[in-house]
Amino acid sequence: MVIHVKLCGPKPLVFDAEDVKQLRSQHRIVGTLIGTLPRLPLQNAFLGLPLQLLPEETALLVAKNLACMDAPWSYPNSKDERLRYRVFEYLWSREYYITSGLKFGGDFLVYLGDPMRFHSHFIVSAKDRNSPIAPLDVIAMGRLATNVKKTFVLVSPPENAADDNSTMDVFSIEWAGF
């Protein structure tokens, strides 16, 4: 069954509850519920439909012919977007659940199982291997991840790699706190 995704401005949204259930249970796509509940519209602790998808989730669903869009979808466009998408597809192909990692200073949070039942283990940042990283940033990544009981992971396509996402260079950063 094909998932129907509607664009509301730049935001890809899924409005059908069965589609949301299929995304999560069959495709490990989590998204974020952003709608209010009809019986409790003034609260914001529990949210309902629609489900907002990450751009990477949407691009993956379209690329795998798992979803159809109601409007033209053009992602990824920039070099950074292509890098993020390649890393997302690499992690997804390894059967991880993936959500946004912005609140932890990374690109993605990676879970070994459904985020409703599992704690995320990794904060992932997609990095171009030729982009410098300041030593203080490496320390900050390690300390931050350790304080929230996670491992910070840098993921980069190898030099001269094809666009097949079959291999990536993966480095983990953990703070030992001497």
* 4, 119, 127, 149: the active-site residue: 119
Run of H or E including 97: strand 97-100
Query: Do the Cβ atoms of 105 and 116 come closer than 8 Å?
Result: no
**Residue 97 designated active-site:** no
**Residue 111 designated active-site:** yes
Question: Listing from the earlier edge strand, what are the strands of the sheet with 122-126?
Answer: 97-100, 108-111, 122-126, 151-156, 169-173
* 85, 97, 127, 150: the active-site residue: 150
* 85, 90, 111, 127: the active-site residue: 111
Residue 160 CA from chain centroid, whole number: 25
For tokens 């519209």, what's the residue?
41
Active site residues: 111, 119, 150
